[in-house]
Copies of this chain bind each other. A is one copy, B any other.
């Protein structure tokens, strides 16, 4: 995607000389869909990006300004003024700011301002990998996915980059995701695909139940591919986008602080998908389930407890529980063939699958989460980065 220019630089603050300040310059006449945190204290950059997206002037070029190390969150009205000041020199472009890092501290305008200037000067000289690294906070790995598909011989390209995972890091905030494609697609369609892809990915993971003040997901379509979205290719393209979002979300859970296991929880059979999701999330956020997973203890009583611990009503005699392929509970009764030894084998795995059926409908929800380890507690209690 040559039409997208990347420039990275360093403010020499939290991360030494590592890049922590990036600009992504996008051409005019493109479509951008943005989805943001529903936290009632959205960070200043979230407020500005949302507002600027609504009034986006398509005739102008757009630039994403992304910094790591300071979230510009909980900074009150001053945080908004700081953004105005920092970007006052960038005329005639649409500005979309994104920040991630410590909450409750003001931005150092001089240092970040200078770094953004340098990034702007180096536009076109930095790589996607540079960008993916520059937005990391306590992430252990950069999260980047490239994919191309062909429709009738013509390629469409996709690049997805994300950082963080829920609000797992000490003082850090948190999830940023940027997915770019050269597909030709209308804005409304782009937005509806974006929502769908987020629902099955970022909105279906939880590390600690804590939603950050800075979560932002962007889906950008530059339109430089020769392929336009149509009824014939829609299914394939939507599936590709969903897979990219899901992979980025999975990378986030795999990189969760202190995590030793990936836990997948599927709940099906209730009246609505939302009901399934409520129960799946309740299991995913249960400290007792997460610590049992960490300990490799197939303590299914805790899973049952978490299933019962929401407002959702169901028939106890329709409760079915599988650990992997091992049936623990069937139609409200303990499977007589289940043994602790079989369960143990499933819970010792690096990837734990919990499958629950609570009725006969085809509604289903799948949530990914991590276990809760002593390292998670250490990382979030022992020091402040």
Contacts and interface: CB of A to CB of B under 8 A. Distances in A.
B295 A40 contact: no
Interface stretch (A60-68, A115-123, A176-184, A370-378): A370-378
Contact of A314 (B40, B286, B310): B40
Contacts of A173: 301, 305
Contacts of A54: none
A302 B41 CA distance: 11
Given A377-B291, A381-B295, A302 B213 contact: no
Interface string A200-240: 00000000111111000000000000000000000000000
A333 to B, nearest CB: 5
A305 B384 contact: no
Interface residues of A, number: 63
Interface in A295-327: 295, 297, 299-302, 304-310, 312-314, 316, 319
Interface in A62-101: 73-78
A309 B381 contact: no
A212 B302 CA distance: 9
Contacts of A308: 39-42, 213
Contact of A297 (B288, B292, B381): B381
Contact of A40 (B73, B208, B307, B378): B307
Kindly list the 3 A-B residue pairs having the minimum CB-CB distance in the complex, ordered from nearest.
A103-B301, A295-B381, A41-B308
